[in-house]
Amino acid sequence: EDKVVQSPLSLVVHEGDTVTLNCSYEVTNFRSLLWYKQEKKAPTFLFMLTSSGIEKKSGRLSSILDKKELFSILNITATQTGDSAIYLCASLIQGAQKLVFGQGTRLTINP
């Protein structure tokens, strides 16, 4: 059974801190690993990672994939209260063209 596991499930930090969110996966026919941010409604796309070892950056957010160890991390530096959200990672299954989601990490940034 395809499985994506995120940790921690919940994280509370102070504004300005740096956080690292983890995502491990066990899937057949892995194609890519995607990160999404979900606030009150639908998830918004952050990153799609297909190759190992290549860091993707967008402002204070960055992510990297390790296909040998089957995990990815999402880093957020200098966190702000607006970063508070649920962060979802998902594995894209080749062939089936579907996403298998992890449970999400609920991140709370306190002022």
Partner 1 sequence: GAVVSQHPSRVICKSGTSVKIECRSLDFQATTMFWYRQFPKQSLMLMATSNEGSKATYEQGVEKDKFLINHASLTLSTLTVTSAHPEDSSFYICSAASGPTINSPLHFGNGTRLTVT
In the Cβ-directed half-sphere of 55, how many Cα atoms lie within 13 Å?
Answer: 9
The CB-of-16 to partner 1 minimum distance in angstroms stands at: 27
Of 27, 34, 64, 107, the one binding partner 1 (CB under 8 A) is 34
The CB-of-67 to partner 1 minimum distance in angstroms stands at: 15
- Per DSSP, which regions of 1-111 are E strands? 3-7, 10-14, 19-26, 30-38, 44-49, 56-58, 61-66, 71-76, 85-93, 98-101, 105-110
- At 90, list the tokens: 């998902």
Is residue 25 at the binding interface for partner 1, with CB under 8 A as the rule?
no
Cα dihedral sign for 57, 63, 65, 69?
Answer: positive
Which residues are CB-contacts of 59 (< 8 A; sequence separation ≥ 6)? none
- Contact mark string toward partner 1, 42..71, x via CB under 8 A: xxxx--x-----------------------
Of 17-25, 32-40, 55-63, 74-82, which part binds partner 1 (CB under 8 A)? 32-40
* Touching partner 1, residues 79-98 (CB under 8 A): 88, 90, 92, 94, 96-98
Residues of this chain that interact with partner 1 (CB under 8 A) are: 31-32, 34, 36, 41-45, 48, 88, 90, 92, 94, 96-104, 106
